[in-house]
Amino acid sequence: MKKIKPYKLNTKFYGLKTKLYKLTILLIIIIFVMQINMSYADIEDEETINETEIQNEVIQAQNEIVQTSATAESDLKLNARIGLIYDRNSKTILYEKNGKKQVPMASTTKIMTSIVVLENANLSDVVTIDKKAAGTGGSRLGLKTNDKITVHDLLYGLMLKSGNDAAVALAIHVGGSVEGFSKLMNQKAKEMGLVNSHFVTPHGLDEKEHYTTAYELACMADYALKIPKFKEIVGSKSYNITINGASRIISNTNELLGNLDGVYGVKTGFTNGAGRCLVTACKRGNLDIITVVLGADTKKIRTTDSIKLIEYAYKNYEVVNIEEIIQKEFERWKNLSEKRIYINKGKESQIHLEISKLPYDKIAIKKSEKDSISIEFNCLYYLEAPISKKQIIGSAKIQINGQILGTINIISGNSIEKKEVLDYILEFLRLLP
């Protein structure tokens, strides 16, 4: 009887076992990667907010600002790749770290989504959810095909729950399609003067041509917060929405809302490409700011860095009435200079000077620089008639610590006609004895 060689049998069995083992490992890796990708698709906003932990982070960040005596920008140590403080009064940047760098923005995109919806849709409209919206991944409100929900409640689901499905549903309702809505977003960005922002989606999942800057994101938030309904939505800790007639309470993903003094919005976000993001609006006294943190590696970092920016701003800046200061200095200069201006060939010899205004009356400046505001006036002292009312005849340069804050015009407050022949004759007759 012919014997079977054990060696060959074992080899075949071993080879088959090895292939099955490798295949199993490969399947496990694929499933694991898919789960990671899904978890990184802007679903961090669904994490449970530990308010005790946040309060500890608030205290820690506040102490760091105090202990380091953070008065200079170099003292403000951020771990996130991008950070910015924006003064809502003057529309100026108080601090920035890579604030004008084009980067992905994750769900902070939904600030612009809300703007377009609020300006183009009826809040009472009932939306029937289609398959595309229902099938959108990432952070979700939990909408299903044929669900019925109002635009109003979709906006709450968009901004509180960060629902990507709500974003697509709104985009299709308002723009006819995601692509059509993206065009509306880009048109609005252009109208707002945003030159470094481009939108491909209403939810912010990573796309190559979907980007903004921290500065322009602050501008979007500033614009949106002037819309009462938007401010109401983002300032809500929770809200009771209705889907198919059934009520459901959703909570806001903004961990600083209700946990840090003065915070009243705006939006969280996270994707693999954008990192963890947080846009925050905060007001204490007259100082109203927006902070932006983008590209944080962890939620703790984005929270702590946001707190650092806010506490740094309120420790080091105060609001001054720049219009009052300018007007006071102008009156002083005018009393000395107005009568020195010679009007050649004018029916009147006296011009009345006025000064134009900055686009804002208040500005946040460093407390240490409050006494370093200076205004430099320059004016023509020889003018030819005719002179029209509001004619520019000079300028005033406003500076803080030698840095130019802005330039405004010195203008004529009255019109002066040019002398005619008869005027010269009458003038001559008056000179006769």
- pTM to 2 decimals? 0.82
The C-alpha atoms of residue 86 and residue 330 are separated, in whole angstroms, by: 28
For residue 428, being part of any structural domain is answered with no
Q: Mind listing the pLDDT tens digit for each residue in 178-193?
A: 999 999 999 999 999 9
Q: What is the DSSP string of 243-255?
A: ETTEEEEEE---T
Domain with 31 in it? 6-39
Are 116 and 34 part of one and the same domain? no
Are 292 and 413 part of one and the same domain? no
For residue 295, being part of any structural domain is answered with yes
Are 15 and 76 part of one and the same domain? no
Are 326 and 306 part of one and the same domain? no
Are 303 and 371 part of one and the same domain? no
pLDDT band at 4 (very low <50, low <70, confident <90, very high): very low
Are 325 and 372 part of one and the same domain? yes
For residue 180, being part of any structural domain is answered with yes
For residue 1, being part of any structural domain is answered with no
pLDDT band at 47 (very low <50, low <70, confident <90, very high): very low
Are 96 and 13 part of one and the same domain? no
Of 368 and 29, the structure prediction assigns the larger pLDDT to 368
Q: Which runs of consecutive H residues, i.e. helices, occur in 225-298?
A: 228-234
For residue 335, being part of any structural domain is answered with yes
Are 309 and 377 part of one and the same domain? no
For residue 429, being part of any structural domain is answered with no
The count of domains in the chain is 3
Q: Mind listing the pLDDT tens digit for each residue in 216-236?
A: 999 999 999 999 999 999 999
Are 33 and 86 part of one and the same domain? no
Place of tokens 């990573």: 206
Catalytic residues: 107, 110, 162
| pLDDT at 7 > cutoff 60 | no
Q: Mind listing the pLDDT tens digit for each residue in 51-73?
A: 677 777 777 777 776 666 666 66
361-365, 379-383, 400-404 — which is least confidently predicted? 400-404
pLDDT band at 347 (very low <50, low <70, confident <90, very high): confident
CATH of the domain at 287: 3.40.710.10
Q: Are 41 and 205 in contact (CB under 8 A)?
A: yes
For residue 103, being part of any structural domain is answered with yes
CATH of the domain at 326: 2.60.410.10
For residue 431, being part of any structural domain is answered with no
CA distances in angstroms from 58 to 136, 282, 303, 334, listed in the order given: 35, 14, 8, 50
Rounded mean pLDDT of 332-357?
Answer: 90
The C-alpha atoms of residue 331 and residue 336 are separated, in whole angstroms, by: 9
